[in-house]
Amino acid sequence: MFFNSLQFAIFLPIVFLFYWFVGNKSKINQNYILILASYYFYSCWDWRFLFLLVFSTLLDYLSAIQIEKSDTQKSRKFWLWLCISINLGFLGVFKYYNFFADSFAELFQSFGFNTSPILLNVILPVGISFYTFHGLSYIIDIYYGRIKSEKNFVDYSLFVSYFPLLVAGPIERATHLLPQLKKRRKFNFEKAKEGIYQIIWGLVKKVVIADTCAVYANTIFDNYNSMNSLSLMLGAIYFAFQIYGDFSGYSDIALGTSKLFGIDLLKNFNFPYFSRDIAEFWRRWHISLTTWFRDYLYIPLGGSKGSKWMKIRNTFIIFLVSGFWHGASWTFIAWGLINALYFIPLLVLNRNRNNIDAFRLSFNLNSFQILSNILITFTITCLAWIFFRAKTINDAILYIKRMFTDLHFSEQYLSIERYNFELWSLLLIFILTEWNSRTKIEPISGKYSWLKVSLCMAAILALGVFSDYKEFIYFQF
Amino acid sequence: MKQFFLFIVKGLTVLLLTMILLDVFYTVVYRKTDNRNKISFLFNTKNQQYDVVFLGSSRVNNHFVPKIFNDQGYKTFNYGITRSRLEESALMLKLMIERNYKIKNLILQVDLNINTNDHSEAIRSLFMPYIHQSETIRQHYAAIPEYNKLLFIPFYRYMHYDSRVGFREMYASLVHKETNALYNDGFNALLKNQRPMIAADLSKYYPKRNKAYEEIKVICKKNKINLIAITTPMCMSTINRDYFNHINSVYPEIHRFENAVTEDKYFSTCGHMNKDGAIEFTKVVFNAFFKPKSKP
């Protein structure tokens, strides 16, 4: 059941009505309704994986209680590592086993040993990376005494499997979400209205921007051998907007949906393509994952304390793991590495926190420099996206090589019976809309909101891609 | 909560109004367009009189040169559409009758398309803008599963078939951007030659009885149209050319022309002839069934 499906359009109002009219009397009822809805939502993909979700929830729940109960550090450590190992074990088996088996076989073959790896014929449980990280953050926070363990199993289960965030985040923190689940939620019209606006804007991003860009990006990436430089550049730009529209659109729908139930989720995107350097980009892109890695990996590794080499090492580890988190493929690892290489100079020169403040543009040299920096950051981000999107590293390298050597910048008619440049006006309107509303959660609220709602609806209906249905990219992670 | 429900009702009203307005706008634009494809041309013309009409897929669109017939005094038009199947050809013929066309001869391509009873989604979409205006189109699609949605939900048909009749096509129609579909009386020549030519593989093909073809036969009989069903050439390296031999075991009346042109120089790809091949082939077909009315 995808957020942009008819099924979800029926499911959401039903849950909403039950939640506010049947379960409204107590927090317990509200949570029961949400947990039932969440399990139903998850089972729509594959009900068998529901057991995995429940097991993972139970494991984290019991481990946390055991950690808290333990008298000795040794025992606390034991429960922590048991829980982490089992969680990562599941993730490893379902997500990474085939990748490692294949890679080791290839390595052995390169030394002349002929091996045929035993591959598992399993499908990846949807959302496993997200709910595993949910659970891990909780258990680590308990271990470090940042929070108390949750004794109410229903409340804890809801924290892990709350349907708006279950399959593609944002990766919540117990400190942020659990307190909200411990109280009875009261209906707030303004919040619900904001949620609806956010859902509509999320749909625009997904159906109009991401799916339209996907039509062009897929054609260009799949046929890069016959594309000219202009097409290849546009292909990378289209993919950049595809993945942004897709994932931030999903996040907007998740956050908006959650607001309908009176629950706030963590913001996941903050206009990343308006970043002035790569450090700022990573503070604005997939924020819940970036901060997760910062808090649970980077800082425990020593963070930015210690020598420069330590900082560089930690940065590399963070980006490598981040790339690997996205999927079991060398292309994701390369993407992580490239981002690390972009980041290192800023770190070495102590400039990684230069662009933290908000900025305004006017007609002066400083604004010109800001715009240039935004453009440069976007360009290098697009180059890295090529590795993320390409099927193999070799394809990515050939793609980039052709982009810089073909040197033909003419219009090109693609196999989808469209010209390569056709999306520029749509993207320009989108960029300007995002730019104008970059201080807000979504661009609809405020003056003339009904006119904006109508325009968004017209855009979804008229410009959306419906015949060539595309899943949310991040569901596969 | 009451406030929120009012807000939702308002939102749904805006959505419905937007759908109706867009539907009306798109439909008006398509109704005023007759130069984008053969279906829009057909829908927006009436009372045409033809001595010969060609119907079929790209193997008609790229293979029959009406000029050769016209030069001999036969008013002819090539209504073949790339990707269309016999189901769409049947609807084209029904629409011609609805638009009061007078047709003496129909040359229908019946070869690879009787391998399946399926339809072409791409060509079906081109009929959708006219579903409210044409009883024939409504009746033709009355049995398909999405019929009620396509007919009764405003704008649904333009969303469902967005790649063909969505915003992009509507905009091109609005600004009267012409395509070459109607040039040369509907004949679209293929000018590039695939070399080396990749052999077409018909090893999984076998002719079957085809509902649409049988419907076309009935329509022609009822409207006194002389139906000439023919096969069209494929390159000699085609795998399983035996397929054509089986065609007559299913439909003995089909005239065999798959060997009318054989040399590779006449083929653009294995399944499609180039311009020279089309001229040669059209001459062969003309001489087989017609005599010149007037000298060129």
| CATH number reported for the structural domain that contains residue B198 in this entry | 3.40.50.1110
Position with higher pLDDT, A12 vs A125: A12
Residue B294, pLDDT score: 59
> From the list B4, B14, B162, which residue is nearest A450 (CB)?
B14
Report the residue of B167, B173, B179 to disrupt the A interface, i.e. the one with the largest count of A CBs within 10 Å: B167
Q: How far, in Å, are A206, A236, B163 from residue A464 at the CA level?
A: 8, 21, 10
Supply A399's token pair: 């793609």
Cα B245 → chain centroid: 25
Which residues on B lie below 8 Å from A466 (Cβ)? 159-160, 162
pLDDT at A360 over 90: no
Looking at A134, A176, A286, A326, which residue is catalytic? A326
In a domain, B183, yes or no: yes
Residue B196, pLDDT score: 84
> What are the pLDDT digits (tens) for B3-16?
999 999 999 999 99
> What are the pLDDT digits (tens) for A327-337?
778 899 999 99
* A471 confidence band (pLDDT: 50, 70, 90): low
pLDDT at A112 over 90: no
B252, B228 Cβ separation under 8 angstroms: no
Say yes or no for a CB contact (<8 Å) between B1 and A187. yes
| Chain B interface includes A426 (CB < 8 A) | no
- For residues A103-132, average pLDDT: 73
In a domain, B54, yes or no: yes
- For residues B126-150, average pLDDT: 93
Say yes or no for a CB contact (<8 Å) between B4 and A465. no
pLDDT at B296 over 60: no
Say yes or no for a CB contact (<8 Å) between B18 and A454. yes
> What are the pLDDT digits (tens) for B79-105?
999 999 999 999 999 999 999 999 999
pLDDT at B295 over 60: no
3-class DSSP state of B230: strand
A427: which residues sit within 8 A by CB, 6+ positions away? A209, A213, A237, A241
In a domain, B294, yes or no: no
> What are the pLDDT digits (tens) for A384-408?
999 999 999 999 999 999 999 999 8
Residue A23, pLDDT score: 84
* Residue A72 CB-density burial (10 A; 0-12 exposed, 13-18 middle, 19+ buried): exposed
Residue A186, pLDDT score: 93
In a domain, B242, yes or no: yes
| Chain B interface includes A187 (CB < 8 A) | yes
Which residues on A lie below 8 Å from B172 (Cβ)? none
> What are the pLDDT digits (tens) for B36-72?
999 999 999 999 999 999 999 999 999 999 999 999 9
- CA nearest A68: which of A162, A173, A150? A150
* A302 confidence band (pLDDT: 50, 70, 90): confident
Which residues on B lie below 8 Å from A463 (Cβ)? 167
- For residues A261-280, average pLDDT: 94
| Chain B interface includes A196 (CB < 8 A) | yes
* A281 confidence band (pLDDT: 50, 70, 90): very high
- For residues A100-108, average pLDDT: 72
* A304 confidence band (pLDDT: 50, 70, 90): confident
In a domain, B238, yes or no: yes
Sheet holding B76-78, edge to edge: B76-78, B49-55, B102-109, B226-230
Report the residue of B9, B12, B13, B15 to disrupt the A interface, i.e. the one with the largest count of A CBs within 10 Å: B15
3-class DSSP state of A145: coil
Say yes or no for a CB contact (<8 Å) between B1 and A465. no
Say yes or no for a CB contact (<8 Å) between A467 and B160. yes
Residue A473, pLDDT score: 64
In a domain, B295, yes or no: no
- For residues A354-379, average pLDDT: 88
Supply B288's token pair: 């087989």
Between positions 122 and 161 of B, the ones with CB within 8 A of A are 155, 158-161
Closest A-chain CA to B166: A462
**Which segment, A120-124, A147-151, A173-177, A384-388, is predicted with the most confidence on average?**
A384-388
| Chain A interface includes B171 (CB < 8 A) | no
Tokens 């292309």 -> residue = A331
- For residues A12-29, average pLDDT: 92
Say yes or no for a CB contact (<8 Å) between A196 and B166. no
Question: Which stretches of A317-387 are assigned E, i.e. beta strand?
Answer: none
Residue B183, pLDDT score: 87
Name which of A104-118, B107-121, B278-292 the model is least confident about.
A104-118
Q: How far apart are CA B124 and CA B128, in angstroms?
A: 7
Q: Nearest C-alpha of chain A: how many angstroms from B102? A: 35
- For residues B18-34, average pLDDT: 94
Q: How far apart are CA A383 and CA A232, in angstroms?
A: 11
> From the list A193, A418, A457, which residue is nearest B18 (CB)?
A457
* A231 confidence band (pLDDT: 50, 70, 90): very high
Name which of A214-218, A267-271, A322-326 the model is least confident about.
A322-326
Say yes or no for a CB contact (<8 Å) between A461 and B22. yes
Q: DSSP letter string over A292-312?
A: HHIIIIITTTTTT-S-HHHHH
- For residues A337-353, average pLDDT: 90
Supply B188's token pair: 């679209």
Q: Percentages helix, strand, coil for chain B, rounded to the nearest 5?
A: 50, 10, 40
> What are the pLDDT digits (tens) for B219-230?
999 999 999 999
Between positions 9 and 38 of B, the ones with CB within 8 A of A are 10-11, 14-15, 18-19, 22
pTM, to two decimals: 0.87
In a domain, B42, yes or no: yes
Q: How far apart are CA A280 and CA B194, in angstroms?
A: 51
Residue A325, pLDDT score: 84
Residue A477, pLDDT score: 57
In a domain, B49, yes or no: yes
> From the list A20, A453, A467, which residue is nearest B161 (CB)?
A467
Which residues on A lie below 8 Å from B163 (Cβ)? 465, 467-468
Q: What does the DSSP 8-state code read for residue B226? A: E
- CA nearest B127: which of B117, B137, B135? B137
Say yes or no for a CB contact (<8 Å) between A467 and B163. yes
Q: How far apart are CA B296 and CA B291, in angstroms?
A: 13
Domain that holds residue B117: 2-289
Q: Nearest C-alpha of chain A: how many angstroms from B266? A: 25
* A306 confidence band (pLDDT: 50, 70, 90): confident
- The overall average pLDDT reported for chain B is 92
Q: How far apart are CA A28 and CA A183, in angstroms?
A: 9
A220: which residues sit within 8 A by CB, 6+ positions away? A227, A231, A232, A234, A235, A238, A414, A420
Q: Nearest C-alpha of chain B: how many angstroms from A174? A: 29
- Reply yes or no on whether A134 is catalytic: no
B91-118 b/e (C-beta count within 10 Å ≥ 16 → b): bbbbbbbbbebebebbbbbbbbbbbeee
Say yes or no for a CB contact (<8 Å) between B7 and A196. yes
| Chain A interface includes B73 (CB < 8 A) | no
Pairing type for strands B49-55 and B102-109 reads parallel
pLDDT at A75 over 80: yes
Say yes or no for a CB contact (<8 Å) between A193 and B162. no
Number of domains forming the structure of chain B: 1
Tokens 């390369």 -> residue = A334
> What are the pLDDT digits (tens) for B193-211?
877 888 889 888 888 899 9
> What are the pLDDT digits (tens) for A416-463?
888 889 899 999 999 999 999 888 888 998 889 999 999 999 999 999
pLDDT at A34 over 80: yes
- The overall average pLDDT reported for chain A is 89
| Chain A interface includes B167 (CB < 8 A) | yes
- For residues A220-246, average pLDDT: 95
B87: phi > 0 → left, psi -120 to 50 → alpha, else beta; which? alpha
Which residues on A lie below 8 Å from B155 (Cβ)? 461
Q: How far, in Å, are A316, A344, B171 from residue A351 at the CA level?
A: 17, 10, 48
Q: How far apart are CA A347 and CA A314, in angstroms?
A: 11
